[in-house]
Structure 1
Amino acid sequence: MSAPTHQPTESIDLAITGMTCASCSARIERKLNKLEGVEAAVNLATEKARVQYAAPLTVADIVKTVQSAGYGAAPLGSVPTAAPATLERPGSPAGSEPLTGPEGSAGPVRQSGDHDEHRAPEPAPEDHLAHDVAPADSLRRRAIVASALGALVVLIAMVMPVRDALGGAGPWLELVLTIPIYTWAAWPFHRAAAINARHLSSTMDTLVSIGITAAFGWSVVAVLTGFSDHLYFEVVGAVTAFLLIGRYIEARAKAQGRSALHSLLELGAKDVAVLRTDGAGAWREHRIPVEQLSIGANFVVRPGEKIATDGTVLEGDSAVDTSMVTGESMPVEVSEGHEVVGGTINGHGRLIVRATRVGAETTLARITKLVEDAQMGKAPVQRLADRVSAVFVPAVLVIAAVTLLLWLVTGHGVTEALEPAVAVLIIACPCALGLATPTALLTGTGRGAQLGILIKGPQILESTRTIDTVVLDKTGTVTTGEPVLGDIVSTFREDAVLKAAAAVEQGSEHPIARAIVSAAEDRGIDLPRVRSFTNLPGQGAEGSVNGMTVRVGKPDLFEEVPAHLQAALDAGTGTTVLVGWEGTAHGALTVADAVRPTSAAAVSRLRELGLTPYLLTGDNEHTAAAVAQQVGIDHVQANVLPQDKHARITALQREGRVVAMVGDGVNDAAALAQADLGMAMGSGTDVAMESADIVLMRADVDTVAEAIGLSRQTLRVIKQNLVWAFGYNTAAIPLAAFGLLNPMIAGGAMALSSVLVVLNSLRLRGYGR
């Protein structure tokens, strides 16, 4: 009877060195997942592994396992999986002080209870050297040398006038020029192939090293013995140069794909001016590193400075540029009591802010963590590529050997048989296959973060492809969630009625009262002082205005309600209150939740994506219909209680619809979880955002369409990359085996295929511009 499998309880991110292709990442992943209680995902593009593990395994055991596969590994941090990263709405109550790294850093931390054996050992010198893949500048130098010398070799070997002019010295000159190419420029391929061979494995580097070694070895022997005039020095030079150039371009392009995440990491302020009292009790500014900032500290933000961390404005008025965090293009006005987010840029005013979250608990840190988590994952379409990559290189080695033997047994000479075999080895390198998914995912999620769209995982991309219905919660999603005064129906001047109502409502904190007072202030109406204010529970309020008792509220407060005012009450397009005096109602004021200015255009865009929008609300049918008409939604479900939202989503699914739900409140959490795709507004609650698959940092329905469009485009790019990678290898290997592909052309084509995959992924950087 086998021992029970341990459930993963902790997670570690590892930086992996030495990976060059999909078979590398697949082998590391396979090796780790053989450990009991381990779930591992290895990402070639980010050069990271995320490993979930359980005791008695330690980080040291995991690192040793990676090293035993022939690669280098170093832990980036240890975090408990029981507490997944979620986003807190700016303005939600600050929780307990977060665990942070040294000096309050925002990075991953060692948990209490961790022991020294959880720390990974330093990699052995040989492993570190063997798998420290040449950085971009080293690749560039090797590519330049290989290209310069390789061009001369090709000139000597293939340009007849030059070849004839050199005569017998030509082959020897080719040998001299090719030696540094083979031994120094191509050293990364040989080194990786040798280490992999020591671990009884093979990768792309194995194919390259064997291919150019066969061509170089044959040519050296031919020059030294003179038994053949067929030399392949130009193949060694051209193939090595092509591959190095391709790998250099690929490294640069991958770095560009990570730039969006890097820009998030660089957003935070480096230092901050905190306010502290001196010995005399006066407040003084002290500039400290932002890592030393603690919850509850007051700090100063001058015009043009970055806000150091999430907090509440204590003093000052300004406009804050939140574009890099939320994607919102227009500055947001803030004043005393408003919440601000760390990493955003203060505009024209001086602010004093009290820190409410620091380190790993800040909005920016949580956004970064969500993006990193998404980039570490794998889309379902990647699984097929991983399975193919695991057997691809050994299969190619067999195909190359069979190609050589078949050419020999069919009466061809060794020289004729060697060329197609070498071409098979070189053309078949599965770089493009390994880069197809992670580079697109890297770029797409990074671009999403810039637009204020946080895609929680690669599997979400597949969900967006099948969605055909979008259910929009009305309050706070299609509408602003803040009531505003709409229609006024009165027996005489509107301003007089509004003035009387607002004068009484000055004494109330009810949302409807605030909407009426705000509307009067916007019209520049001077409000008289109210005396003898009385709240009438369940009915309204009354007060003495200029010596006359004015009532605001329900019809029961009045002895007489004119017919046209009663008609306004019956219309039901919002919440309508009456205002009057001396027992008679003289005006009807309708307060309704304001529709967002962008909602109508956003709904139209959803339709263009082939989606059917539904409006879900707890309001009455009249109000729901009025909002739906404004934004262009045909399907409305009104009078929906919070506990019924989940059931409505389920009902749509039973009708065969694939449903996306968009909401922002606690009462939306169950519906978000039930939906095939849950999308939470970033202005909403933590519970809603934790239940969602996509978090929208901008409270705007337009981001719904933008998020679905970006997700679908990312998935489309992944599929384009995979089709190209699979199709390229499927078509190219037979051509090479039948001798229809020169090894030099094969080298160039292989390098170009990887570059094309990465460049195709980088197109996502321009999405939404």
Structure 2
Amino acid sequence: MWCTSCALAVEGSLKRLEGVREVSVHYPSATLCISGTPAATQLSTLAAKVKRLGYRLTELEPVGDAHGRLESESRYLTLRLMVGSLFGMWTMLASLLIYAGALPSERVELVVAWVSGAFSLPVVLFAGMPFYRAGWRTLMAKRPGMDVLVSLGVIGAVMVSVWLLWRGSAEVYFDTAVMLIVLLLVGRLVETLCRHRGLKALDALTLPDRNIKVWQNERWVSLPVAEVAAEMRVELAPGELVALDGTLDESGWIDTASLTGESLPRHFQAGQAIYAGCRYLGTTPIVMQVSAGVGKRRLDRLCDEMRRYQAKKGELQKLADRFAAWLSPLAMVLALLTLPAALLFGLGWEDALVRALSVLVVACPCAVGLAVPLASLAGSGQAMQQGVALRDPAVLETLARIRSVAMDKTGTLTTGSHAVLHWQAREGADRQALQRKLRAAVAGSEHPLAQALARWASSLGDQQSEPCEEVNEVPGEGRRVKLSSGEWLSVGSASWMARQRIVLPDQAEDAALAFASQVMVADEAGWLATLYLSDQPVDDAEPSVKRLLASGYVVAMISGDRQGAVSWLGERVGLAREACYAQRSPEAKARLLQALPSPTLYVGDGLNDTLSLAAADVGIAPLNASEAAREGASAQLMTPGIGGVVKLLGIAKRTRRIMVQNLFFSALYNTLALGLVVLMAIPPLVAVLAMAASSLTVTINAARLAWAEPDEEG
């Protein structure tokens, strides 16, 4: 498409199809979003309708193809701009000599005026051709827009100039036609580059095509990644980028920095899911079973969803489209009325034609049409650069007005990984000896609390541990191990210890740590130690919550966990006790959320959060959210923690400010300019410069959002 008028033409044409309920065409991303009956929304049906307008409709293109299309558009515009600038320069020079009175006689002025017209021909006939083509298409769609005005302005300027030359006058307006085309080409080229920049935000979600090793026909073969299907087993070489989603057949160290931004690698266990975009850091090859091939990977889904939802428009965009839709017909009517009105008021044919020409030129609604889409695209690109993938960029408008922020606890405000908060041991017990024995006792256990104990036992003291000769484990309850020294050690819950007839002392700390998970340790002499563990807050939970509170948001934590654990975490991150809601069912979470001041934002990661994500005005899924939560959210954090929520709110406020600025000033310009040009004489060249300046201002203002540093405080 050539401009927003093209988008409106396609939109208007498809709206008239029977069975179509809603149509939205997003010009910056060249994307169509349509809903209706299955018969009406078939690609073949839509493509045939669009083809009659002179456009081509295809399936959603890959990001690489979109880059190629925009690069082709840039070259297309650059060539026409070069032709327009080269020949237009001589046209402007000739006109300048005439205007300045620098020529010796009227006869020479007339010759120079003809020269000016000759140099304008390549500009008018070649560089301006896309405007005429788009104008004709929009007329066919009965949605005349900016290109119709531009075409009429150029043709009018040339015809008036030829008529004046035929009469022997050197006061021609070829320069107006040339300036109109050249300046609009500059604006279109800048718009295309901004669209290209916004599209580059999706590059973080694409991976290069390459060959990988696949186990096939009882041997390892090299296949293109696009040919590898689910259930196939592939080999990961040390340092290799993971190209597909899958599960590991064995444990290994994985660098998730490219996908999550984590600075330290993580140790993944056998059977644990990993996603395309991570990097294997082991020293020997390992095998992974593919769960999703190219096109169905987590990154592919995020990329496609983000680009599909770009076609949806917020209220500001709909307002801009309505304004641009009636502005073009109004300008043409005013231009037609200006000509006879000027003649009635005693102006000559020449002045009347110039006045009507100025009305056409000044009314071009390019700036209005670009006011919101470019700002939205720049805002969603900035969000992606800050680690937040927007499924619906139109949600930026709602995010800018958020009043309440509610969050889930486990997996959202916490890491989902337990750590030792406190420990008690019988009198005379040595900490290093306890850690050494405990490290041996829990080695190899997959229980989350056992893994937390292993981390604590390895954090201090002697790193040597005794091997176990015998292990007896009751899953979920505890384990009894025989160390190499012959000593027996038991590790498990208090209830399991009691069933083993181990006498446990009264714990003075129980009341204060009632929310924590308890793990008992006993040796042959009886009770040895009690360790208290709790899920830890994510690193940026406290600063993020405090920034939200300082910015005036109502912040709440809504969890299904116990009151003690919820209150403890709330105190850790800076929330008041009355803002922490515990033991809430999914239905109760949603009801409580709707009672908060709206618009509301909810951040949750689990299946039990999907109802709240739908009930909130905006839902956000953390990095490790479940599939159901990701599907129900408008945005997903691509980095650990919740700091992305603060950044996104700041970006949304800046984006809406720029949307409002663009829409207000572009609408004000068009309204005032139309009034002025009807009431008083404004040279067409001045009208061209004013129209182009308004479009460039909108574009540069949106680009300022894309290039600026994010404002976390909004």
In 1, Cα distance between equivalents of 2:620 and 2:11: 31
In 1, Cα distance between equivalents of 2:369 and 2:55: 19
In 1, Cα distance between equivalents of 2:570 and 2:82: 63
Secondary structure in 2 matching 1:73: coil
Secondary structure in 2 matching 1:239: helix
**Do residues 601 (structure 1) and 535 (structure 2) align?**
no
In 1, Cα distance between equivalents of 2:382 and 2:14: 31
Counterparts in 2 of 1:142 and 1:300: CA distance versus 1, 3 Å = farther
Counterparts in 2 of 1:717 and 1:729: CA distance versus 1, 3 Å = same
> Would you say the 8 A contact 2:562–2:583 is kept in 1?
no
Superposition deviation, residue 459 in structure 1: 4.0
| Matching residue of 1:96 | none
Equivalent runs, 1:255-270 vs 2, <5 Å: 255-261=196-202, 263-264=203-204, 267-270=206-209
| Matching residue of 2:410 | 475
| Amino acid paired to 1:63 | A
| Matching residue of 1:138 | 79
| Amino acid paired to 2:554 | T
| Matching residue of 1:511 | 448
| Amino acid paired to 1:273 | I
| Matching residue of 1:634 | 576
Superposition deviation, residue 362 in structure 1: 0.5
Counterparts in 2 of 1:149 and 1:629: CA distance versus 1, 3 Å = same
Identity of aligned residues (%): 26
In 1, Cα distance between equivalents of 2:580 and 2:190: 56
| Matching residue of 1:112 | none
Secondary structure in 2 matching 1:150: helix
**Do residues 62 (structure 1) and 46 (structure 2) align?**
yes
Secondary structure in 2 matching 1:602: helix
In 2, Cα distance between equivalents of 1:458 and 1:503: 52
**Do residues 310 (structure 1) and 245 (structure 2) align?**
yes
Counterparts in 2 of 1:605 and 1:570: CA distance versus 1, 3 Å = closer
> Would you say the 8 A contact 2:212–2:222 is kept in 1?
yes
**Do residues 554 (structure 1) and 494 (structure 2) align?**
yes
**Do residues 330 (structure 1) and 263 (structure 2) align?**
yes
Superposition deviation, residue 684 in structure 1: 1.6
Secondary structure in 1 matching 2:231: coil
| Matching residue of 2:70 | none
Superposition deviation, residue 575 in structure 1: 1.4
Question: Deviations 1:371-428 (Å, cap 9, x if unpaired)?
Answer: 1112121112211122222222111011122222322211122222233321221111
Question: Deviations 1:312-343 (Å, cap 9, x if unpaired)?
Answer: 344685553543x44x1525335563543224
| Matching residue of 1:378 | 313
Structure 2 counterpart of 1:571, from 482, 493, 513: 513
| Matching residue of 2:660 | 719
> Would you say the 8 A contact 1:472–1:614 is kept in 2?
yes
In 2, Cα distance between equivalents of 1:308 and 1:61: 36
Question: Deviations 1:22-60 (Å, cap 9, x if unpaired)?
Answer: 3x3223212212212113211122223233343544433
**Do residues 271 (structure 1) and 204 (structure 2) align?**
no
In 1, Cα distance between equivalents of 2:703 and 2:58: 28
| Amino acid paired to 2:3 | T
Question: Deviations 1:714-745 (Å, cap 9, x if unpaired)?
Answer: 33322222122212211222222233533112
In 2, Cα distance between equivalents of 1:474 and 1:701: 11
In 2, Cα distance between equivalents of 1:391 and 1:177: 35
Structure 2 counterpart of 1:417, from 324, 336, 352: 352
In 2, Cα distance between equivalents of 1:727 and 1:149: 34
In 2, Cα distance between equivalents of 1:187 and 1:517: 72
Counterparts in 2 of 1:661 and 1:48: CA distance versus 1, 3 Å = closer
| Matching residue of 1:47 | 30
| Matching residue of 2:152 | 210
Superposition deviation, residue 661 in structure 1: 1.6
| Matching residue of 1:30 | 12
Superposition deviation, residue 196 in structure 1: 4.6
| Matching residue of 1:661 | 602
Equivalent runs, 1:321-720 vs 2, <5 Å: 322-323=257-258, 325-326=259-260, 328=261, 330=263, 332-334=265-267, 337=270, 338-345=272-279, 351-352=285-286, 353-490=288-425, 491-492=427-428, 493-506=430-443, 509-523=446-460, 524-529=462-467, 540-543=478-481, 546=485, 550-552=489-491, 553-554=493-494, 557=498, 565-568=507-510, 570-581=512-523, 585-635=527-577, 640-641=582-583, 644-654=585-595, 656-720=597-661
Is 486-495 or 497-506 further displaced after alignment? 497-506
> Would you say the 8 A contact 1:316–1:351 is kept in 2?
no
| Amino acid paired to 2:381 | G
Task: List structure 1 runs of 4+ shifted beyond 6 angstroms.
Answer: 536-539
| Amino acid paired to 2:275 | V
Q: TM-score, normalised by structure 1?
A: 0.81
Q: TM-score, normalised by structure 2?
A: 0.87
> Would you say the 8 A contact 1:306–1:344 is kept in 2?
yes
In 2, Cα distance between equivalents of 1:464 and 1:763: 20
| Matching residue of 1:236 | 177
Counterparts in 2 of 1:462 and 1:496: CA distance versus 1, 3 Å = same
Counterparts in 2 of 1:171 and 1:151: CA distance versus 1, 3 Å = closer
| Amino acid paired to 2:265 | V
> Would you say the 8 A contact 1:305–1:346 is kept in 2?
yes
Superposition deviation, residue 480 in structure 1: 0.6
Is 159-168 or 671-680 further displaced after alignment? 159-168
Equivalent runs, 1:126-165 vs 2, <5 Å: 135-162=76-103
> Would you say the 8 A contact 2:226–2:294 is kept in 1?
yes
In 2, Cα distance between equivalents of 1:622 and 1:561: 23
| Amino acid paired to 2:464 | D
Superposition deviation, residue 481 in structure 1: 0.4
Number of aligned residue pairs: 691
Counterparts in 2 of 1:162 and 1:602: CA distance versus 1, 3 Å = farther
Secondary structure in 1 matching 2:302: helix
In 1, Cα distance between equivalents of 2:80 and 2:134: 15
Secondary structure in 2 matching 1:361: coil
| Amino acid paired to 1:43 | H
| Matching residue of 1:82 | none
In 2, Cα distance between equivalents of 1:696 and 1:373: 18
> Would you say the 8 A contact 1:268–1:306 is kept in 2?
no
Superposition deviation, residue 193 in structure 1: 3.4
| Matching residue of 2:222 | 287
| Amino acid paired to 1:37 | G
> Would you say the 8 A contact 2:13–2:141 is kept in 1?
no
**Do residues 251 (structure 1) and 188 (structure 2) align?**
no
> Would you say the 8 A contact 1:619–1:640 is kept in 2?
yes
Superposition deviation, residue 758 in structure 1: 2.3
Counterparts in 2 of 1:329 and 1:734: CA distance versus 1, 3 Å = farther
| Matching residue of 1:125 | none
| Amino acid paired to 1:136 | L
Superposition deviation, residue 500 in structure 1: 4.5
Counterparts in 2 of 1:446 and 1:48: CA distance versus 1, 3 Å = same
> Would you say the 8 A contact 2:207–2:277 is kept in 1?
yes
> Would you say the 8 A contact 1:736–1:742 is kept in 2?
no
**Do residues 71 (structure 1) and 45 (structure 2) align?**
no
Superposition deviation, residue 618 in structure 1: 3.6
Equivalent runs, 1:173-184 vs 2, <5 Å: 173-184=115-126
Superposition deviation, residue 365 in structure 1: 0.8
> Would you say the 8 A contact 1:472–1:616 is kept in 2?
yes
In 1, Cα distance between equivalents of 2:482 and 2:142: 92
Q: Which runs of 5+ in 1 are unaligned?
A: 1-16, 79-100, 108-131
Superposition deviation, residue 669 in structure 1: 1.5
> Would you say the 8 A contact 1:568–1:588 is kept in 2?
no
| Matching residue of 2:695 | 754
